[in-house]
Amino acid sequence: MNFDAINWDSLERLRANFLGGVAGAKDYWQSETDLVDYDATFAQRIGWKWDYVLAELKQRGWSPTAGKLLDWGCGSGVAGRAFLDHFGVSTINELGLWDRSLLAMKFASMRARERFAGLNITTHDHDAVKGPSAPATILISHVLNELTPEQTEALADFAAEATSVLWVEPGTYEASLTLIAIRERLRERMNIIAPCTHGDRCGILEPGNERHWCHHFASPPPDIFTNADWSRFANELEIDLRDLPLSFLVMDKRPNTPPAEGATRVIGHPRLYKAHALMLGCDRCGVRERRLMKRHHPEVFKSLKKGWNDNLQTWRCKDDEIMEIKPLFQSP
């Protein structure tokens, strides 16, 4: 899309709504143009977060169960499209779109029809938090900020009726802690697939870990950094294009193979010093900062400096030091 046609004031208004925590108060989609502009900009960035999550699911060997896919709170529909781009349409017999905004559902449906000819696409026209009936897979993206705690709990319980739940939110402290609360609420009903390497109580909830939150960083496609439209977007809205923090949660009712001994997820960015790096690692024993010595692992240290983003690792540690480190999944 040509960014010359974008109404920057509308995007600014939408963004002020999202950041101000008032977006839940009433429907803010005022016209189809709002959705067109959102879809070309903010939604693309959300799509790159979905790409990160979906790539990890593929790495973990996860694939969707057959049946209906529901994009709850679909907005312009980027989550559903990203999912179908990654996993294809062959196992999906219906894409359901639900949003309190009729305008949003119509737009998302139009965009999905353009992309996935022949796919059965349905929208729902009633306004209730429970929304439509239980799907096989439910996608939830960037809605927490707009829901009351009661609506969030009702949504989590509704989501747990599906076989699989994929939930992506901004990587803020509040969103992460809410996703952790949802994880705890549903942990006995569903298996935890990601981002965790275990299904026990979340280690962030342990005393001493109050300052931490479970967040990760997606990478935008490199060509946006030399693209005039995206640099205009960055200037107009004062957004750092490199910054794509997310929190996410994937749960599934199907049996899940437990990850190997020592499986660890690195949370947030490693902190680099002259002779060592500190990494916040999460494994079934808890969430704990560990030290990686440059002199023992020069290659790993070098790749950390280059912005390494391989967050799933196998570690062998002695006290607080990482003695052995290797990727949990080898690249094909």
Ligand X SMILES: C[S@@+](CC[C@H](N)C(=O)[O-])C[C@H]1O[C@@H](n2cnc3c(N)ncnc32)[C@H](O)[C@@H]1O
Q: Which of 101, 152, 178, 197 binds ligand X (CB under 6 A)?
A: 101
Q: How many CB atoms lie within 10 A of CB 199?
A: 16
Comparing every residue's Cβ against ligand X, the nearest one is 75
Among 142, 183, 265, 288, binds ligand X (CB under 6 A): 142
Structure tokens at 255: 């049996």
Cβ atoms of 279 and 191 within 8 Å: the answer is no
Site string for ligand X, 77-96 (x = CB under 6 A): -xx-----------------
Q: How many CB atoms lie within 10 A of CB 164?
A: 25
Instruction: Choose which of 143, 190, 244, 279 interacts with ligand X (CB under 6 A).
Output: 143
Give least dist CB 101 to ligand X, A. Answer: 4
What residues from 46 to 75 belong to the interface with ligand X (CB under 6 A)?
A: 46, 73-75
Stretch that binds ligand X, among 135-143, 233-241, 263-271, 287-295 (CB under 6 A): 135-143
* Cβ partners under 8 Å of residue 199, min gap 6: 187, 191, 192, 256, 258
197 binds ligand X (CB under 6 A): no
The span of 87-95, 97-105, 178-186, 324-332 binding ligand X (CB under 6 A) equals 97-105
User: Does residue number 99 form part of the binding site for ligand X (CB under 6 A)?
Assistant: yes
- Nearest Cα to Cα of residue 23 among 103, 126, 100: 100
Contact region for ligand X (CB under 6 A) — 98-106, 281-289, 290-298, 313-321? 98-106
- First CA to last CA distance, the chain: 34
| Site residue total, ligand X (CB under 6 A) | 21
Residue 267 is a binding residue for ligand X (CB under 6 A): no
Task: Single out the residue of 34, 37, 146, 283 in contact with ligand X (rule: CB under 6 A).
Answer: 146
For residue 100, the minimal CB distance to ligand X (Å) is: 4
Query: Using the rule CB under 6 A, is 132 a contact of ligand X?
Result: no
Q: Of 19 and 260, which CB lies nearer to ligand X in the complex structure?
A: 19
Given a contact cutoff of 8 angstroms between Cβ atoms, the answer to whether 249 and 177 are in contact is no
Site string for ligand X, 9-48 (x = CB under 6 A): ---------x-----x--x---------------x--x--
Asked whether position 135 contacts ligand X by CB under 6 A, the answer is no
Write out the residues near ligand X by the rule CB under 6 A.
18, 24, 27, 43, 46, 73-76, 78-79, 99-101, 104, 129, 141-143, 146, 151
